[in-house]
Structure 1
Amino acid sequence: MSETTHGITTGAVARRLGVSPTTLRSWDRRYGIGPASREDGRHRRWSPADVAMLEEMCRLTTSGVPPAEAARVARIRAGQQPAPPVPDAAGPTHAPGSGNGLPLGVVHKEFRGLARAAVRLDSPTMDTLLRDLVAERGLVVSWEEVMAPTLHAVGRKWESSDDRYVEVEHLLSWHISTALRQLVSSARPRVADAAPVLLACVPSEQHTLSLEALAAGLAERGLPTRMFGAAVPAEALDAAVRRLGPSAVVLWSQSRSTASHALARHVAETAFGIKGARTHPLVLLAGPGWAGRAAAPGMLRPGGLREALDILTRRCAPAG
């Protein structure tokens, strides 16, 4: 059966756009965003032009346009007259702007837009939203109020939906990582003489996004960093500390199974510099894996991104 000739079903369109069939039927009923023809007068069959109009509707709602206005604009751009909204006697259905089923709660419109784009696997929109978000709000607000909550919402949906949305989490993580790395690469250190901050995940630890957010925040403040990424072997970490002489070392651990307090103590006790003026790096134990034990001398355990940035800024300030 030709898609161009016969159109496609509501279920197929919903899968393509990453929205629920209920949302599509609601848009058709309330805003006139529906197929031009119906098979046997009842079953919806969506033509390529109908799907293009839906894609425009999705793009507009993702950018924060209210659904009624988005529908009006989408119809005009498709060459159709705006349809008068039809009141729903049963009350509003699941709000199209709520993130398409993700457990978002009360969030900023950017959060909702990013979640909707992620569920639709809409890479261009995610890139645009993330770039504009960081430019307007800065790294800390963007991470704490939009990026991290959206990632957590996707993760909770994955855990509660029998491994669905795994592809959403992977794509969203990639685009957030890209936005963070672009911020690092575009920044110029303002504290030229400061020793760098070394950032590394402990051995066996693969989660890097929070560490990437810290690197981006330090870059935003003009502080030099060296990011070593996931699962850095203990021997390699020791060699890097001795070669770089960092002002601080941030060790990320996502879970207690990867947190190595022996390794952290070894790093904190590592001395470098000329004889008679040897120094030690400050060690920050970052991530939930370090919870439950008090930090030893020479170590701090920040409560979040903002606190870690403030600690590291003060640490680098004397050299600047």
Structure 2
Amino acid sequence: MDRVPQTPPQPQPRPPAALSTGAVARRLGVSPTTLRSWERRYAIGPARREAGRHRRWTPPDIARLELMCRLTAEGVPPAEAARAALGVAAAERRGEAVAPARTPGGAGALPLGAVRPECRGLSRAAVRLDAPTVAELLEAALAEHGLVTAWEEVIAPTLHAVGRKWATAGERYVEVEHLLSWQISSALHRIRPAPEPPRTPPVLLACVPGEQHSLPIEALTAVLGQRGLPVRMFGAALPAEALHDAVRRTGPRAVVLWAQSRTTADPSLARSVAGIEWGLRGARSRTALLLAGPGWSPDAQAPRTERLYGLRSGLAVIESLAPPRAATGAAGAGPFAYGS
């Protein structure tokens, strides 16, 4: 009699990995201390714990916390939110029908799309106007990912989501944008620059006149400082004459002009800055002009200018500039400058 072929055992799917308290806190936009407090006060901790080991949160545990965060963000007291989240979990275990879940974050959620979990946590904390947690999450993202990756994959997506929400909600969420922007700026200013090498021309960064949005060039200022490149940051809405004077006085390696909108971008200003010369007669120099921001139109390109399209690529462009040369004469060495 022929043997009946045995069906090989099918591999069992691995259960989703459980997360630490710190990882869950970053994902949800709350502090680890808050999670421990909720567990102690409202018994909303991990469903299973092994003696002598750290807390590990499974997907069902995290789902309960997400519901609690949504409810507290909408003004529900924490005790009531915890009871509701635990009640939903118990009903699901009994197989009872549960009302469909709302959009993550509730009606006030930011439209983030596919992003890192840290980005969702940051957005939730910002919508709650939880400044201490926003600051903590920003510091954690900068420490874990570095400034460039944290900006491109955590900070900038959250800022863009706030802008989109504001644009579709009238005057609502302005307070969220202001709080988030202030905390980001503060975190960037806490980054200590490396010592500047002597006799090295700086990079000048400024917003065009009338432009108040300076966060992107604040991030560029911070990362250039980390690399040890001398930076002179002039911030928002620098008057044109002040910009011209600063270029002539410093002989910079490059000038970065930021324009957030078409209404503030000024092609004539770009052309005038690109044409500034300094140094002794016969040894004149010009700077490299770098236009940054979505306000500059493609036809705004002036001679001796280049466009910057992101923090990482912008940093590479600045670092790739040819070593500057000194304009010298009878009076001695003049300012160092990027040669045209």
TM-score range, shorter chain: 0.7 to 0.9
- CA RMSD in angstroms, aligned pairs only: 3.1
Mapped contact 1:97–1:112 kept (Cα < 8 A): no
Matched with 2:304 is 298
Q: Would you say 1:161 and 2:169 are equivalent positions?
A: yes
User: Which structure 2 residues correspond to residues 199-218 of structure 1 after superposition, within 5 A?
Assistant: 199-218=205-224
- C-alpha contact 1:218 1:224 (8 A) present in aligned 2: yes
Instruction: Give secondary structure in 2 for the equivalent of 1:142.
Output: helix
- Which deviates the most, 101-110 or 307-316? 307-316
Corresponding position of 2:74: none
Instruction: Choose which of 244, 264, 279 in structure 2 pairs with 1:238.
Output: 244
Per the alignment, residue 269 of structure 1 pairs with: 275
Deviation, 1:79, is 7.1
**Equivalent residue letter for 2:268:** A
Calculate the TM-score normalised by the size of structure 1: 0.72
One-letter code aligned to 2:142: V
For residue 204 of structure 2, what is the aligned residue in structure 1? 198
The offset of 1:203, in angstroms, is: 1.0
Partner residue, 2:135: 127
CA distance in 1: counterparts of 2:29 and 2:125, whole angstroms? 15
Equivalent residues of 1:194, 1:316 under 8 A apart:
no
**Match of 2:178?**
170
Q: For 2:107 and 2:134, locate their aligned partners in 1 and report how far apart those are by CA, in whole Å.
A: 13
Say which of 77, 96, 109 aligns to 2:40: 77
In structure 1, distance between residues paired with 2:280 and 2:229: 24
Corresponding position: 1:116 with 2:79: no
CA contact (8 A) 1:250 1:285 kept: yes
Q: Shift of the alpha carbon at 1:174?
A: 0.4
Aligned sequence identity (%): 52
Q: CA contact under 8 A between 2:208 and 2:259: conserved in structure 1?
A: yes
Name the SS for the 1:116 alignment partner: helix
Give the structure with the higher percent helix.
1
Matched residue of 1:250: which SS? strand
TM-fit CA distance, 1:257: 1.6
Amino acid at match of 1:63: R
Instruction: Supply the AA of the counterpart residue of 1:299.
Output: T
Aligned to 1:106: 114
Cα distance change on mapping 1:273 and 1:99 into 2, 3 Å: farther
Please state how far the C-alpha of 1:98 moved relative to its aligned partner.
8.2
Residues 187 and 220 in structure 1, CA contact (< 8 A), matched pair in contact too: yes
How many residues of Structure 1 are paired with residues of Structure 2 in the alignment? 260
Report the alpha carbon displacement of residue 87 of structure 1 after superposing the two structures with TM. 4.2
Is 2:159 the counterpart of 1:147?
no
Return the alpha-carbon distance in structure 1 between the equivalents of residues 171 and 44 of structure 2.
42
**Counterpart for residue 310 of structure 1:** 316
- After TM superposition, give the deviation of residue 315 of structure 1 in Å: 1.9
Q: Deviations over 1:72-110 (max 9, x none)?
A: 854542275868732443476136568951111111111
Asked if 1:86 is matched to 2:90, the reply is: yes
- Which among 26, 37, 57 is matched to residue 63 of structure 1? 26
Distance 1:225 1:204 in 2: 22
Q: Is the 8 A contact 1:99 1:113 kept in 2?
A: no
Judged with a 3 Å threshold, the aligned counterparts in structure 2 of structure 1 residues 226 and 72 are, in CA distance, closer, same or farther, namely closer
Q: Any idea what SS the aligned residue of 2:299 has? A: coil
* Alignment deviations for residues 253-288 of structure 1 (CA, whole Å, 9 cap, x no partner): 111221111111111111112343221000001111
Question: Matched residues in 2 for 1:261 and 1:79: separation?
Answer: 60
What is the CA–CA distance in structure 2 between the aligned matches of 1:206 and 1:297, rounded to whole Å?
A: 26
Is the 2:253–2:324 Cα contact (8 Å) retained in structure 1?
no
CA contact (8 A) 2:110 2:161 kept: yes
Instruction: Give 1:121 deviation, angstroms.
Output: 0.8
Deviation at 1:159, TM superposition (A): 1.7
| Deviations 1:167-217 (CA, angstroms, capped at 9, x unpaired) | 11100000011111222xx11235443200000111111111111111112
Question: Would the alpha carbon gap of residues 65 and 285 (structure 1) be closer, same or farther in structure 2, given more than 3 Å must change?
Answer: closer
Distance 1:70 1:109, change over 3 A: farther
Structure 1: which 5+ runs fail to align?
1-58
CA distance in 2: counterparts of 1:249 and 1:220, whole angstroms: 18
81 and 112 in structure 1: CA distance in 2 versus 1, 3 angstrom threshold:
closer
For 2:263, the equivalent position in structure 1 comes to: 257
Equivalent residues of 1:180, 1:212 under 8 A apart:
yes
Tell me how far 1:296 sits from its aligned partner. 2.3
Higher CA-based Rg: 2
Q: Which amino acid aligns with 2:90?
A: V
Gaps of 5+ in 2: 1-21, 48-85, 326-335
